[in-house]
Structure 1
Amino acid sequence: MRIHCEDIEQRISHVTDPKRTFIDLYNSVKGSAATRETRMEVVAWIAVCRFDCKLEGGFVRDWIVGKYTTHPNSEDPNDWIEYNINYNHEQIPSMNKNVVPADLDCHLPTHARFDIDRFQDELFKFGIICRSYREKWRYILFVDENTRTGPFTMNLIEPHVTLTHDRIDFDVSNLVLEKNYTRDLGMRIDIQQKPYSIELETVVDNIKNKRFYVLRNIDNRITERIEKMTNIRQWKQLGQSFNVLPNPHAKCNALLVPLHHTSTSHKILSKKMKIISDSFKILSVEEIRNPYLEEIYEGMKKLIAQQCPGFNPNEQELFHGTSDDGITGVLEYGFDDRFFNPNGAWGHGAYFADDPRKSHNYTDADTIDGSRVIFSNKVLLGIESIQSAVDNSLTSAPKGHHSVRGTAFTYREYIVYRYGQALPYLKVIYTA
């Protein structure tokens, strides 16, 4: 692929090569061929090569890889900039949504103290003037406000925030540049591994063709960003969104990530579960990332699919209520057959329901705040054995089947008997 990317590698080196000479840099700022983008490269070079920052975000996507530019016709900087009021009641500049590339996003180093005054002094050596604004988690710079090539903004993000920035919106926004990697693009979050399997070459190709994958649950903020990409910048969204979660710490099996209340998944859950009671209220919904369970589940999914008509494993989203140690057990180890209910109406299995009222009956209220926990799960039902009569002697699904659907009581029950046949993926904390 590199044979087709010489121009990309050249732009990468403009930001990451510490051996660039002063004359070379000066020409990019003041020379006859200098542009807004070459001036942005120099500012990024100072951040990366002089202050060990990492450059991420839209500039890498739009300029370094895509070489896309869109400027307002007006030379008046007021037509390029919008102002928003922050928590300090300051007017903070941001680029108009039509401007491409919009800004520079740099993450400050974790190993050294950042001196904003020294950074501005480095810019001034090239005649680059900026105004700075301080917020709790970043510096915002308004650069080249009165320059003929046009202004831009820069975010210098604090290290403690950098460590928590482990989510990405789009595959094409996942690229990063670092000092001394003069030909290489990096990925901020590894999405090349299963279950995502999006290679770096795919990301570059998507940028060149102005298309992207959405890698988060859809909420109001993500919807706004998608509309900006598709309606304003004329990019194309590929397929349905899927959710990329960071891996848990090496000492933990599972990681919980809060799901925003405006997300589609949160709204769907709330609508389904409000039938539990008139006083039902969701306190939080958390996404579950457990790579070990996911790997087992995906393997089981393929095996069951091979045994089903049309290779359809009959995957359903079902509820499971539990309490106390069961909550931690499900998070860490999933539905472990060693702890299946031995006294269930359909024998020794893991029990699920499509009606949350059934699962609610198996929860206990916390003694302090009255909260309860229900898990939303992906369950591989495969070929179901539908049984209207109780049979508590079962230790597996009947021959030729993968699960049992029990219909003897008010609520339907779904029972699986093998480890890895169900995957908890949302933890719902609620009161009722």
Structure 2
Amino acid sequence: MSSLNGVRVLDLSRVFSGPWAAQMLADFGADVVKVERPGRGDDVRHQGLRARDARGNETSETSSFLAMNRGKRSITIDIAQPAGQALVRELATSSDIVIENFKAGDLARYGLDFSALHAVNPRLVYCSISGFGQSGPYSHLPGYDPLFQSMSGLMSITGHAGGEPGGGPMRVGYSVGDITAGFYAVSAILAALRHRDMVSGEGQHIDLALLDAQVASISHVAMMYLLSGQQPPRLGNASPITCPWQSFECADGQIVVAVGNDTQFVAFCRVLGVPELASDERFRTNPLRAQHRLVLVPMLAEQLVRRDVRHWHEAFEAAGVPSGPINGFADVFSDPQIVHRGMQMEMNHAATGTVPQVANPVKFSATPVQYHRAPPMLGEHTEEVLRERLSLSEARLTELRQKGVI
């Protein structure tokens, strides 16, 4: 039995944020039906690297789609046609959750917005994920992850200082705004679902903006600004509030050190062979070390560059000092801890034979995550779902296909 066994999700979303949230719900056991455009499907079916089959031939399946859509059944419906709109409304009547990430107001044109679907199913939890939310001066605008990274302040604190080589604001290396919003969406959906089942008996509308989610997730750094009125500095891999908490050059590469308290700093200095630094009045506490970071860091760097990454990592590990190499993905997926935790897995797939997946990190003690479906082919389950959920006859399915509705 899975955590969300019996929960039905109608996924009207595209690209990253909505599909990521729906995949999480599928991992937890929900029955997720993904509605896509006939012929083209989700935009991410055309983005990223193409997977190859067992013979090495390129398939139509892309890395972006495969990352966001396991556990779902794909159906194709043209929601621009009234008959397609009617099918989605019918599916909504027997669903618990709808997830959509159209621009604000777009689905109202098709009679698929919250008010329309709430009228046919008052128990529906309806989550709208959009760039700027359902209200406000930007609500009508489209948006993508780089905009939310830049407008949220994230890029202003990411990268090296302006005067350093390669300095300037820097984008985080993955679509952090989309994925962050997806996590917020799952939390909100589960909260609304519990309220429906335990309190009100009715669903509700969730209005989630990617910009809002990215601002919120900056958390303690944003709070530094709110308390001080000062822009937090951009320090590359270093921290403005903890030291040493950054990457250092070693003889053969870089290591990241994250000294979280004064006891760890004493151990750190002992491993480096400079125990006297731990008793230096300038460095005795973390606030003092952060204050004198520009003095302390070169002293530490001078020691670290003398030995290789492996030497320091093993020595710090033995001393209880948090540290780690900067891994490429070959190192990530061969790391014994990652292997032990089962963070890479394989699933059978109709087009590729098997397909690799990054596993869900949640470990339930009683209702473990179950991977019951690989990311679906476009429209793979259209007839199955429409027969099962709407009891459509073969004649009706044939008629809908001929008219291009499905």
TM-score, normalised relative to structure 1 = 0.25
Task: Tell which structure's C-alpha radius of gyration is larger.
Answer: 1
Determine which structure has greater relative contact order: mean sequence separation of CA pairs < 8 Å that are 6+ residues apart, divided by chain length.
2
Bigger proportion of residues as strand: 1
TM-score, normalised relative to structure 2 = 0.26
Bigger proportion of residues as helix: 2
